[in-house]
Amino acid sequence: MTLPLVRRERDALCDTALSVGPEAPTLCGGWDARDLVAHLLVRERGWWGPAAGIAIAPLEGVTERAMEHSARRPFPEMVGRLRERPLTPYRLPGVERLANTLEYFVHHEDLRRAQPGWEPRDLPAGDEDELWKLLPGSARLSARKAGVPIVVRRGDRPGQEATVRRGSAPVVVTGKPSELVLFFFGRDQLRDVTFDGPPDAVARLRGTHRGF
């Protein structure tokens, strides 16, 4: 039986983290691999309090201290704890899929694409379909500050598109679902993503902070 994408991405992220090592760079600002794993550990294991600073700016210090504490463990131990899938609400099948699929996919790519010579993965069609199902909702939230109409279009499946933000003369962003997810999570290390529409709207979308 094939594991769902969310669980395979968790395992793959752990494998990649061990492969590149704790000091390897990531696409997450100044974080290295150790910082990224600490973030994921605090996000899941500290959902009742220590992770609150991820979403609530005044509590950022609480989360940072929790990450620093987590990062004191040996790196293989940290990765092993992440691989375990702790008993938290994130482990509920519906919650895990909605809350963790894109989180683990994007952070896995944050590790991969920060390394020299990276190449995009050729994901199975079913995985691209899963990312496509989850894309519109996350894109709607991440691009809200741009304030322009947006349509996403699959580059690997002609004829499939979804409206992210309604309006006339939308920006049409085309690419594989995996690449579109990364774009709307604020990443610029992309392959074969195109933008069509009014130049000022395209510039506004690409120049606005995207992400959560």
Ordered alpha helix ranges (H), the chain: 5-20, 33-45, 60-70, 75-83, 93-112, 125-142, 177-184, 199-207
Average pLDDT, the chain: 89
R_g (Cα) of the chain, nearest Å: 17
Q: What is the mean pLDDT of residues 51-64?
A: 50
Give per-residue pLDDT as tens, 149-189.
999 999 999 899 999 999 999 999 999 999 999 999 999 99
Residue 61: band (very low, low, confident or very high) from pLDDT cuts 50, 70, 90: low
Give per-residue pLDDT as tens, 98-148.
999 999 999 999 999 999 999 999 999 999 999 999 999 999 999 898 999
Q: Please, are residues 132 and 161 in contact by the beta-carbon 8 Å criterion?
A: no
pLDDT at 47: 52
Distance CA 139, CA 171 (A): 13
Q: With 80 as the cut, is the pLDDT of residue 204 above it?
A: yes
Residue 190's Cβ-count burial label (10 Å; 0-12, 13-18, 19+) is: middle
pLDDT at 170: 97
**In order of start, what are the domains of the chain with their CATH numbers?**
5-112 (no CATH), 126-207 (3.30.1050)
Q: Please, are residues 75 and 21 in contact by the beta-carbon 8 Å criterion?
A: yes
Distance CA 109, CA 93 (A): 23
Q: Please, are residues 111 and 16 in contact by the beta-carbon 8 Å criterion?
A: yes
pLDDT at 55: 46
Residue 50: band (very low, low, confident or very high) from pLDDT cuts 50, 70, 90: very low
pLDDT at 192: 96
Cα angle, residue 37 at apex, residues 29 and 137 outer, rounded to 5°: 70
pLDDT at 184: 96
Give the global pTM.
0.89
Number of H helices, E strands in the chain: 8, 4
Give me 109's structure tokens.
Answer: 């790519």
